[in-house]
């Protein structure tokens, strides 16, 4: 699919997707003869994962590191790599739980504020 279709399916801007390509977070699977980026269903899945990390406040470097761990685990690397990647993944899970709780707390505060604004 072309970048416009990918943007439409993910709700991300063309500029954001191009930036992810430039920094190596999501490389296009191929290019047309005219140089236009082409993306696969796997690229869409990867971009959706990236999109889900954004509200949690992960930096581009953290996203890159997490995606590398996921790629290694899916690729079935050596046993030592799998043990290390499991530790790294566990650390990301713990961090994500903490970040999620912070967002949930902020949402609770926003709900309380909204209730105050709407009170008679």
DSSP per residue over 23-63, as a string?
A: TTSS--SEE-TT--EE--HHHHHHHHHHHHHGGGT--HHHH
Give 97's pLDDT tier (boundaries 50, 70, 90): very high
pLDDT over 80 at 73, yes or no: no
Greatest Cα-to-Cα distance within the chain, rounded to the nearest angstrom: 64
Under 8 Å between Cβ of 67 and 115: no
Give the domain ranges of the chain.
1-55, 57-120
- Domain 1-55: CATH class, spelled out: mainly alpha
DSSP state of 76: T
What is the model's pLDDT at position 33? 93
Give 83's pLDDT tier (boundaries 50, 70, 90): confident
Q: Residue 57 CA to chain centroid, in angstroms?
A: 10
């Amino acid at each position: 699919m072309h970048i416009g279709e990918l943007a439409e399916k993910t709700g991300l801007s063309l500029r954001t997707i191009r930036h992810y390509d430039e920094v190596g977070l999501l490389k296009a699977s191929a290019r047309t003869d005219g140089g236009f980026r082409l993306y696969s269903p796997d690229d869409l899945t990867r971009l959706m994962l990236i999109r889900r990390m954004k509200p949690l406040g992960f930096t581009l470097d953290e996203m890159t590191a997490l995606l590398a761990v996921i790629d290694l685990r899916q690729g079935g690397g050596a046993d030592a790599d799998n043990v290390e990647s499991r530790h790294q993944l566990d650390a990301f899970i713990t961090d994500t739980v903490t970040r999620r709780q912070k967002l949930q707390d902020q949402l609770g505060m926003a709900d309380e504020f909204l209730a105050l604004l709407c009170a008679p």
